[in-house]
Structure 1
Amino acid sequence: MCFGAHCSGHSTKKDTGSSHCWGPEGSGSRAPAPRGAPGGSPARAPRRSPYLSARGHVAHVLLGSAEEGYAAYHADKYDEESNPDGIINFGTSENKLCFDLMSKRVSQIAKRNMLRNSSLVFILREEVARFLTHYCKAPAPLKAENVIVLNGCGSLFSALATVLCDPGEAVLIATPFYGGITQSVFLYGNVKLVYAYLDSKITGTSTRPFQLTVDKLEKALQDAQAEGVTVRALILLNPQNPLGDIYSLSELQDYLEFAKRHELHVIVDEIYMLSVFDESATFHSVLGMDRLPDPQRTHVMWGISKDFAVSGIRFGTLYTENQDVANAVASLCYFHGVCGPVQHKVAQLLRDRDWINQVYLRANHARLKAAHTYVTDELKTLGVPFLNRNAGFFVWIDFRKYLRTGTFEEEMLLWRRFLDNKVLLSCGKAFECSEPGWFRIIFADKIHRLQLGE
């Protein structure tokens, strides 16, 4: 490798990272945050359009500023036949290992009545509730009336930020994290992110690199409050992107107790919950906990784009027992609804428990494990350190020894050297990592394409 619906009454954007060192992992392009937006300001302020409001200008800058990796990749995309010397994309968190299984299964789903059935949304919510009850190991059946469906988890982040926070308020999140969340919470809601910085050092109560502890959450919250920032919620990613960490039950309990003490909502993103590919690792869903410290402030998200390898199908679901939150998010479904054909296919897919368990998950986990083993064995051969985790599609790699000055400028130079050699990765700055030199590589691809990066 180149390492040298809740739509009436109650009714995932692809992931790269942030800044110029993103891969193409969104519905549109991503760009550095403009002045006044979270994440800092670009090197030069773009011209203010006379046709746009201040909010319109921010949206224009976020969408319109060309990102280097995205533009380069799409100008020179690898294709086995038409462009065999093109750029190999190891930057987009997308499962390319099970398209054969999913395309066949989705094409088999009957199309009868899926356009005319006005009860589709209710059928879908019932199927989602049953699905989450089973796979999250809920202690009691989850209720369909607590299910909301929108067109992707990015829309859910945006909706939740808007209904839980006032403009200028903030949400707490640990870094490194999937950078698309920054844009999701900011564009509509004008909500900022407050960072609890994690690093590779094992100190204090930490027992592993980049470990999230309550002490770090407390410090980040206190620092924000000292600066006059009002924090309304905490975001937890479990399994974590880009680290691949899976939180233990005791860790989840600690985080939720912390949030309860400070009256914070908790938004738990479990979009990779079925992508735990090693039998030695156990995923614990918040919905499977016997007792939630503050159920009215606990909201769990999931979508099909990652676990079912269908990034192009826009579907995300929220489970919350708080009917005020459910109704507020549902009102935004007017702008973020799931179309009838997608509702029908998702409901039929989630219902097919035998196929999911006996065919899809077995094959998906085996393929993920084989691809992960291939990439990590290559890293070991090259003497490159990495976090060895068992969930998601990514490996968090330590390239710090290749940075001459240990700065983010050097990290960007290294990222460009990869790109010049036709390999697209995501650098640590894209995930607000506090230490220069960490990169994320996506391994959920066919072995022959992984080998092309060698």
Structure 2
Amino acid sequence: SNPLGTTMDRETLETLVSFVNEKRMHLVCDEIFSGTVFDKPSYVSVSEVIEDEPYCDRDLIHIAYSLSKNLGVPGFRLGVIYSYNDAVVSCARKMSSFGLVSSQTQHLLASMLGDEEFTTSFLATSRTGCAARRVFTDGLKRVGIHCLDGNAGLFCWMDLRPLLKEATVEAELRLWRVINDVKLNISRGRFFHCSEPGWFRVCFANM
């Protein structure tokens, strides 16, 4: 999940699927970081979970996915909506005309995805790179800064609460300005609706 860098295990997904079925709610699973999982729990798609749930109403389950994170092509803006609901698919088809993917992008990505040797090698290399986050988090730990334990993603959820003069949104903003002044680009927890001031998302992918 963004910004936590964590994934849901199978048991949690099963509970979630059961809950939405009971309450007749729609579940949208964002699986955009699926290829960046580098530690346990391993990646489990909600599509796998509902295969083992014969009484699940699949019309309630929708999956959002994009190549931008897994293949490192954020500028290409190519995404996928996978739904078992005919009405949702029909609506998505109509809406897609407002965000068409260029022929050049389609050709390039089709070539990349069609090369099984490349995709296997790339994803393995990506997971190794993501696992190297420990170099970053260990360095922070040595100076007394801790991060939430994560197993996926291109970022860390960093705890700077001890550096706040008081536990307020205003204090978080003041700390962010100090960090921004020295040209470090991190995102405030408030941007992610964090209920506790002092948490920041820091991306390590381009370090």
**TM range, normalised to the smaller chain?**
over 0.9
Partners of 1:401 and 1:379 in 2: CA distance: 13
Is residue 126 of structure 2 the alignment partner of residue 364 of structure 1? Answer: yes
TM-score normalised per structure 2: 0.94
Partner of 1:50: none
Q: CA deviation at 1:438?
A: 0.5
Query: Is 1:394–1:444's contact at 8 Å kept on the other side of the alignment?
Result: yes
CA deviation map 1:112-144 (0-9, x unaligned): xxxxxxxxxxxxxxxxxxxxxxxxxxxxxxxxx
Is residue 112 of structure 2 the alignment partner of residue 349 of structure 1? Answer: yes
Is residue 101 of structure 2 the alignment partner of residue 338 of structure 1? Answer: yes
RMSD over equivalenced CA pairs, Å: 1.3
Letter of the structure 2 residue corresponding to residue 361 of structure 1: L
User: Percent of pairs identical after alignment?
Assistant: 34
The SS at the match of 1:383 is coil
- Give 1:382's match in structure 2, choosing from 143, 149, 158: 143
Letter of the structure 1 residue corresponding to residue 94 of structure 2: S
Partner of 2:61: 298
Letter of the structure 2 residue corresponding to residue 270 of structure 1: E
Letter of the structure 2 residue corresponding to residue 260 of structure 1: N
Matches within 5 A, 1:13-412: 240-278=1-39, 280-289=40-49, 290-292=51-53, 293-357=56-120, 359-370=121-132, 372-412=133-173
Q: CA deviation at 1:418?
A: 0.2
Letter of the structure 2 residue corresponding to residue 285 of structure 1: S
The SS at the match of 1:423 is coil
Q: CA deviation at 1:254?
A: 1.0
Letter of the structure 2 residue corresponding to residue 369 of structure 1: A
Partners of 1:414 and 1:425 in 2: CA distance: 11
Query: Is 2:81–2:92's contact at 8 Å kept on the other side of the alignment?
Result: no
Query: Is 1:256–1:294's contact at 8 Å kept on the other side of the alignment?
Result: no
Partners of 2:103 and 2:93 in 1: CA distance: 17
Q: CA deviation at 1:348?
A: 2.1
Letter of the structure 2 residue corresponding to residue 319 of structure 1: Y
Letter of the structure 2 residue corresponding to residue 339 of structure 1: S
Structure number with greater Rg is 1
Letter of the structure 1 residue corresponding to residue 71 of structure 2: F
Gaps of 5+ in 1: 1-239, 447-454
Gaps of 5+ in 2: none
Q: CA deviation at 1:381?
A: 0.3
The SS at the match of 1:271 is coil
Matches within 5 A, 1:3-14: none
Q: CA deviation at 1:431?
A: 0.2
Partners of 2:124 and 2:185 in 1: CA distance: 29
CA deviation map 1:19-66 (0-9, x unaligned): xxxxxxxxxxxxxxxxxxxxxxxxxxxxxxxxxxxxxxxxxxxxxxxx
The SS at the match of 1:332 is helix
Partners of 2:91 and 2:41 in 1: CA distance: 36
The SS at the match of 1:426 is strand
Letter of the structure 2 residue corresponding to residue 366 of structure 1: T
CA deviation map 1:367-389 (0-9, x unaligned): 2222x022111111011121121
Q: CA deviation at 1:426?
A: 0.3
Partners of 2:79 and 2:12 in 1: CA distance: 25
